[in-house]
Amino acid sequence: MDVSFVQEDRYTFRIPRKGKMRADAVFFASKRILAHLESEGYASLVQLMNVATLPGIVEPALAMPDIHWGYGFPIGGVAAFDPAAGGVVSPGGVGFDINCGVRLLASGLERRDLEPRKAWLADRLYERVPAGVGSKRRDVKLNRRSLARVLEEGAGWVVRQGWGEPADLEFIESGGRLEGADPGRVSERAYERGLPQLGTLGSGNHFLEVQYVEQVYDPEAAAAFGLAEGQVTVLIHTGSRGLGHQVCQDHVQKFLQVAPKYGIELVDRQLAAAPIESPEGRAYLGAMAAAANYAFANRQLITHYVREAFEAAGFAPREHALRVVYDLAHNNAKFETHGGRQVLVHRKGATRAFGPGAPDLPPAYAAVGQPVLVPGDMGRYSYVLVGTEGAMEKSFGSSCHGAGRVLSRARSKKQVKGRDLVRELAAAGIELRATSRRTVAEEAPEAYKDVAEVVQVVEGAGLGRRVARLRPVIVVKG
């Protein structure tokens, strides 16, 4: 496919519509990121162009600078669809890990308070938060009825069981609950997979990190978020586990069957789609919202066990004072108003970045904008950004979600073969706990772009503004 594009400014590139594309495609990149896209044969840009062929798309189809190849949509992809113009919903534009997302906790501790108990705390976190493929909790007993409540109520259900504080909910995207969830649209197999996994991390790039604020760039926004240099923070990255994966799998198969009925021509079967207003589209959105609520509840329950781990390591509740700064989603589809009309915005490996005064922001953040949490790799750093007016104008209020892979898991394992990454990280002052050395090799720092460069592109393109940089000191991986 012809992937010719024009450069509009230093960080913005446009692929004019061609062939079956119904809209232009826009992506954000630096010279180095552009070189990587070229080295992979522009495979992820071809996916972005394919997204632009879907009915009812609102121009343009977008990709953030952490773009890489994914299922159907590229990871880092953003696309809005207009229900009034026959717009569609596509599970590939949400992803298999529905509402995979990140939660940032801020503590009352400073880095120097942590150092004497760092290894002990790492052990307590690893004990209390199950991680890895198929990981399960054995101390939280759900049945089908209570799980249906989780799917409908999200993080609020967890708080009402005593696993959290009501104030936590104020600082979660959408209050920790997507409206329109329909537990009846979730298959029995998805229920089976979800029952034992609430409160677990999962595997791959999911993690729990204890960090500290290494640098503040925007004092006003940092003060609004309650962040200060030297402060200990916690970043939790996980999603809807096997339940969300099953929801996606179930509906991809259904959409493949019904797409011809609605006259939807798929240039890629992984873009299986149905009209938003169709029975199949509404069924998926109900199941997707239910899975998203499971993910919000999952991160809420993990937060409870993180607080317990700090207390087991000798930090009294008044000392650690762990509070939610923000919790946001990476993989979902939400109805939002942009350009004066309601559209369904798919974000797949991308996140909201709403600017000052935007709806659905906690009152404490309304004057500065939404926190945007951008994890890096386990050996370097992560960033807190803030949403901007530019994101609202250019990207449907969206930004990047992380560093983005540059090496496949197989290539990463091959490249680090023979190295002791655990020892390397320890030499850098990072305590690592992981279920297997294979996971560690797959998640080596060099498997990812330098998140600082991704953030530079986001800031240069006006999609976000740096607030703080966080440096890891404890990493728990599946």
DSSP 8-state symbol, 265: P
- What pLDDT sits at residue 132? 78
Residue 62, classed as helix, strand or coil, is strand
- What pLDDT sits at residue 411? 85
The domain ranges of the chain are: 6-477
Q: How far apart are CA 357 and CA 351, in angstroms?
A: 18
Residues 6+ apart with CB under 8 A from 263: none
- pLDDT tens for each residue of 391-436: 999 999 999 999 888 788 888 888 878 788 888 888 989 999 988 8
Tokens 């305590």 sit at which residue? Answer: 431
Q: How far apart are CA 184 and CA 60, in angstroms?
A: 34
| Superfamily holding 6-477 | tRNA-splicing ligase RtcB (3.90.1860.10)
Q: Among 251, 304, 320, 401, which one carries the catalytic annotation?
A: 401
- What pLDDT sits at residue 299? 98
The answer to whether residue 338 is catalytic is: no
Residues 6+ apart with CB under 8 A from 231: 106, 107, 109, 110, 111, 212, 213
Q: Which residue has the higher pLDDT, 410 or 472?
A: 472
Tokens 């400073």 sit at which residue? Answer: 110
Mean pLDDT computed over 346-371: 96
Q: How far apart are CA 60 and CA 251, in angstroms?
A: 26
- What pLDDT sits at residue 205? 85
Three-state secondary structure of 369-420: CCEEEECCCCCCCEEEEECCHHHHHHCCCEEECCCCECCCHHHHHHHCCCCC
Residue ranges at the known binding site for Mn(2+) = 97, 206, 237, 330
Burial class (CB in 10 A: 0-12, 13-18, 19+), 447: buried
- What pLDDT sits at residue 93? 97
> What is the identity of the amino acid at 266?
L
Residue ranges at the known binding site for GMP = 205-209, 330-331, 375-378, 382, 401-404, 477
Instruction: Please state whether 236 falls in left (phi above 0), alpha (psi between -120 and 50) or beta.
Output: beta
- pLDDT tens for each residue of 193-224: 999 999 999 888 899 999 999 999 999 999 99
Mean pLDDT computed over 453-457: 97
Q: How far apart are CA 76 and CA 451, in angstroms?
A: 13
Mean pLDDT computed over 444-453: 87
pLDDT of 134 > 80? The answer is no
Tokens 């010279």 sit at which residue? Answer: 31
- pLDDT tens for each residue of 142-160: 999 999 999 999 999 999 9
- What pLDDT sits at residue 424? 84
Q: Beta strand pairing status for 25-28 and 57-68?
A: parallel
- pLDDT tens for each residue of 224-275: 999 999 999 999 999 999 999 999 999 999 999 999 999 999 999 999 999 9
- pLDDT tens for each residue of 293-345: 999 999 999 999 999 999 999 999 999 999 999 999 999 999 999 999 999 99
Mean pLDDT of the chain: 95
Q: How far apart are CA 465 and CA 387, in angstroms?
A: 7
Tokens of 150: 């989780």
* HSE, side-chain direction, 13 A CA sphere, residue 349: 26
Q: How far apart are CA 22 and CA 1, in angstroms?
A: 16
